[in-house]
Amino acid sequence: MVICSVPRRYRSPPPCPPLKPFYIATTVSAAADRHSQRWGRAEKEAEMGRRWRRRTWPRGWCLSIPSRSNLSDSRLLVVHPADLCFKLPENVSLEEGAMCEPLSVGIHACRRANVGSETNVLIMGAGPIGLVTMLAARAFGAPRIIIVDVDGYRLSVAKSLGADDVVKVSTSNQDIDEDVVQIQKAMGSDIDVSFDCAGFSKTMSTALNATRAGGKVCLVGMGHNEMTVPLTPAAAREVDVVGIFRYKETWPLCIEFLRSGKIDVKPLITHRFGFSQEEVVEAFEVSARGGDAIKVMFNL
């Protein structure tokens, strides 16, 4: 079994880290078959009246392994619905299968924003989700992708993964206008779609101001519950704002992108740990520190 790391916002692992967050993704090798599991049990669309596609769960919803369990409990057994288990091709590893979870976020975002072969893309934030969104946008045909962050190391990783250009910005709201000028200069043409993969007032404001009239801004990150952003000027330029929450029916496309080589997620896996209690705690600490850690894997 291979399990993806938890988000970095889980800063301090308890003595026995609970598997609380729903960002956990697993791949399981059983007998001759290898599968990638998608967490999150949804009602069928017909039962939902299609009013929020796949978005509402019943009271007994399952987002991850039960929170009373812990990562290193070898007695843990999870029965998962067969329709949420996807067989991996021979040339897709278990680790790549586990990466279908974060990659699904980027793929769903690109679908929501209608990214295509004529879409110039701006990505705010070069963390794990910003990077998979960049990879997804390229797979969808985006001809030029600019990625923005405050961290030079993250930007160097983005550049190595195929970003056409990177822009380092400040954290001050006073610098938004200057940042927008730098970003538009780096793009060299209109910005059709912007993805805010951080979710802060400054990143969203920058995205709204940088995107062309009639363009689209997709909010992916959830850094703040509330933001102060220039919606009225954006509305005057008819900039559309859309949001995403997790993903929708993305696993087959993820696996096909991995199988065909259109997306390579292997460079995102920077650290690997075993499944002992000590290694689990260390893995959480490495992920929380950030630094050169992008995706941390547990291997059992």
* pLDDT value of position 78: 66
CA 210 from chain centre, in angstroms, equals 22
What would the pLDDT profile of 238-271 be if each residue is shown by its tens digit? 999 999 998 888 999 999 999 999 999 999 999 9
User: pLDDT value at position 49?
Assistant: 40
Percent of the chain whose predicted confidence (pLDDT) is above 70: 74
Helices (H), 20-75: 45-48
Which residue, chain included where needed, has tokens 């993805």? 195
What integer pLDDT is reported at residue 69 of this predicted model?
A: 55
Cα gap 104→97, rounded to integer Å: 11
Where do the domains of the chain lie, and which CATH numbers do they carry?
A: 2-99+265-299 (3.90.180.10), 113-243 (3.40.50.720)
Q: What is the pLDDT of residue 67?
A: 54
> Which segments in the chain show pLDDT lower than 70?
1-78
- Spatial CA neighbour of 33 closest among 78, 71, 73, 88: 88
Check: CB of residue 131 under 8 Å from CB of residue 158: yes
- Record the tokens describing residue 20, joined without a space: 């609380």
Would you list the DSSP string of 68-97?
TSBTT-TT------GGGEEEPPTTS-HHHH
CB 149 within 8 A of CB 125: yes
For residue 280, the tally of other CB atoms under 10 A from its CB is: 20
Task: Give the per-residue pLDDT at 167.
Answer: 98
Residue 217 in 3-state DSSP?
strand
3-state helix, strand, coil in the chain (%, to 5): 35, 20, 45
Predicted pLDDT at 8: 45
For residue 50, give the 3-state DSSP assignment. coil
Beta bridge partners of 200: none
Residue 23 CA: distances (Å) to CA of 37, 65, 246: 12, 11, 9
Q: How far apart are CA 236 and CA 234, in angstroms?
A: 5
DSSP 3-state assignment of 148? strand
